[in-house]
């Protein structure tokens, strides 16, 4: 049940956000070997700075169950590349936070996934 949330200062149209979110949804499903029907994506636009400037930047949170700890480098590379291509944010202006959620702390469809 991965969830990827992007917070960015980039003003995108709804169509551009949708395109970026669809790209990330597909990528997360592929990279984590999860069905895309189980992936949730969200985008928030906010005022933000990085390295002292307000140039395009993003903070990305990827929450999932059983995140392979030895795979975060590959995930970071792939997600940065895909976000850079779809939203035109340089990869050196993207921070990613990986969160491995205990299944007993994740609910869906009225159940807990433990």
Tell me the per-residue pLDDT of 71-114, one tens digit each, with 9 for 90 and over.
899 999 999 999 999 999 999 999 999 999 999 999 888 989 87
What is the overall mean pLDDT for the chain? Answer: 94
Residue 26 has a pLDDT of 96
Separation between Cα atoms, residue 75 and residue 81, nearest integer Å: 10
Q: Is 98 exposed, middle or buried (0-12, 13-18, 19+ CB in 10 A)?
A: middle
Structure tokens at 43: 């985008």
Residue 72 buriedness (CB in 10 A; 0-12 / 13-18 / 19+): middle
Q: What structural domains does the chain harbor?
A: 3-112 (3.30.429.10)
Please give the torsion angle defined by the CA atoms of residues 79, 30, 33 and 106, in that order, rounded to the nearest 10 degrees. Answer: 60
> What pLDDT, on a 0 to 100 scale, did the predictor assign at position 76?
96
Nearest partner of 60 among 74, 114, 71, 75, judged by Cα: 75
Q: What is the pTM of this model?
A: 0.91
Label residue 52 by pLDDT band (50, 70, 90). Answer: very high
User: How does pLDDT run across 12-41, given as a tens digit for each residue?
Assistant: 999 999 999 999 999 999 999 999 999 999
* Mean per-residue pLDDT, 30-59: 95
């Amino acid at each position: 049940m991965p969830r990827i949330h992007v917070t960015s200062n980039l003003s995108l149209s709804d169509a551009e956000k949708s395109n970026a979110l669809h790209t990330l949804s597909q990528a997360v499903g592929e990279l984590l070997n999860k069905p895309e029907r189980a992936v949730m994506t969200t985008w928030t636009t906010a005022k933000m700075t990085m390295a002292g400037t307000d140039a395009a930047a993003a903070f990305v949170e990827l929450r999932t169950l059983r995140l392979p700890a030895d795979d975060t480098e590959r995930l970071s590379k792939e997600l940065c590349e895909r976000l850079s291509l779809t939203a035109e944010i340089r990869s050196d202006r993207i921070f990613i936070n990986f969160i491995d959620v205990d299944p007993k702390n994740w609910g869906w469809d009225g159940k807990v996934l433990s």
